Amino acid sequence: MIPNNVQFNRKSVEYPTPAWLFRTLEIIEGPFILDVAASSWNTKCKFFIDSSIDGLHQRWHPHRCWCNPPYSHVGRWVKKAWDESRLGAKVVCLLPSYTDKAWWHEYILDKPVKIYAIKGRLRFENAQQAAPFASVAVVFDPRIKKQKWISLANTFGDIEVKLNITEPERYRLT
């Protein structure tokens, strides 16, 4: 069930990715196979890992992954994305642009990643207001050899995207 009044507070860690942003990044960087930090009501991929399985303790490689992590523990998810990319996964993370945090300096700054700087503040799905922080999408990909910044204007939000959504499936470990 989808909560009706998602607001930005410290009690909730589930803010669904705006569909326009996911679709745009999927066209550029996807298609994404596995949503590594999701729930059944907010996943954007056919396969997903939810909190009952704990994506931080699962293998993501060799998949092309989407990650909108809980921002309460974002550093752990960024480290995991970096580690999995070194093993062959391509991971695109939607992150707060917290350039003062240790995880930013350890796993993003001066690393071979692609960073999409998102203009304006995101309004997550079902949120009553925009996020109180700037956001970036960071691509961790073993094929990237040099850091690259790309501007992604929020004007894409005006584009109506028709999605063919099928029922997502919980990721099954084999």
**CATH, residue 68:** 3.40.50
What is the average pLDDT across 40-60? 90
Residues 116, 93 contacting (CB under 8 angstroms): no
Is 78 within the bounds of a domain? Answer: yes
Whole-angstrom distance, CA of residue 66 vs CA of residue 38: 9
Is 35 within the bounds of a domain? Answer: yes
Range of the domain at 43: 19-170
Q: Has this prediction a pTM greater than 0.75?
A: yes
Q: 155: which residues sit within 8 A by CB, 6+ positions away?
A: 119
Whole-angstrom distance, CA of residue 81 vs CA of residue 32: 14
- Helical segments of 30-163, H only: 74-86, 102-107
13-22, 80-89, 109-118, 147-156: segment of lowest average pLDDT: 147-156
Is 11 within the bounds of a domain? Answer: no
Q: 23: which residues sit within 8 A by CB, 6+ positions away?
A: 161, 163
Domains contained in the chain, number: 1
Residues 92, 141 contacting (CB under 8 angstroms): no
What is the average pLDDT across 18-47? 90
The CB-based long-range contact list for 161-164 (8 Å cut-off, 24+ gap) reads 161/19, 161/20, 161/23, 163/19, 163/23
Is 80 within the bounds of a domain? Answer: yes
Terminus-to-terminus CA distance in the chain, angstroms? Answer: 28
Is 12 within the bounds of a domain? Answer: no
Is 81 within the bounds of a domain? Answer: yes
For position 148, what pLDDT does the model report? Answer: 87
Is 1 within the bounds of a domain? Answer: no
